[in-house]
Amino acid sequence: MNIHTYEKFWLIGAMVLIVAFIATVTYGAAGLGIAMVDDEGGTIAPDEIGDHDKFGDPGVHQVGENEYDVYVHAYTFGYSPDTIEIPENSEVTFYVTSSDVTHSFTVVGTNVNTMVIPGEIAEITAQFDEPEEYGILCNEYCGFGHHDMEAELHVVP
C-alpha cells in the first residue's frame, strides 16, 4: 500500500462518517421533533394555552368509568380551576402547565407534587378512594403572591 492509497482510504472513511453523522442529526432530530409535539405530557406554547382544546377551558374530563383527566392552568398567582371536584374511587391524571413562570402543583397529603414549567405539560396520576378535601398549593417560589397561590381538590361521595 503506497501513501496515496492509504490517504484515499482514510478520506473515504472520513466522508462516510460525515454523511452518516449528518443523516443521524437530520433524521434523528426530525423524528425527535415530531415525538416531542405528540408525546404524552408533552409541550405547549405558553401563549397558546387559551386556544388549546383542553387547557383553554380547564377542568375535569371523565375518560373512563372511574377515570378522570384534570387540566389545570397555573399562573401568578393561582390555578384555574381553583376548585376541582372528582368522585371517590377515581383514578385521576392531572395535566398542568404554566403561562408565566415556574410553579408547582402540590396536593397536600398525597404523592401529587410536580414542578410546573412554562412550555411543558406536567402529567401525574393518582388514585383517590375516600371522600376528602385536599389543599393544593405552590411550593416553588414564584413572586410576591406565592404564598397565596392555592386551590382545592374535593373528593366527593
Q: Which residues bind ligand CUA (CB under 6 A)?
A: 77, 103, 138, 140-142, 146, 149
Cell readout for 31 is 423524528
* Strand partners for 155: 86, 132
Measure the N-to-C terminal CA separation of the chain; round to a whole number of Å: 85
**Shortest distance, position 118 Cβ to ligand CUA, whole Å:** 11
Please report how close the Cβ of residue 77 comes to ligand CUA at its closest, in angstroms.
6
Shortest Å, Cβ 113 to ligand CUA: 13
Nearest residue to 69 (alpha-carbon basis) of 41, 95, 98: 95
Q: Which three cell numbers, joined as nine digits, stand for 8?
A: 484515499
CB-nearer residue toward ligand CUA: 86 or 138: 138
Q: Which is nearer to ligand CUA, 84 or 155 (CB)?
A: 84
* Residue with Cβ nearer ligand CUA (91 or 124): 124
For residue 137, how far is the Cα from the chain centroid?
A: 18
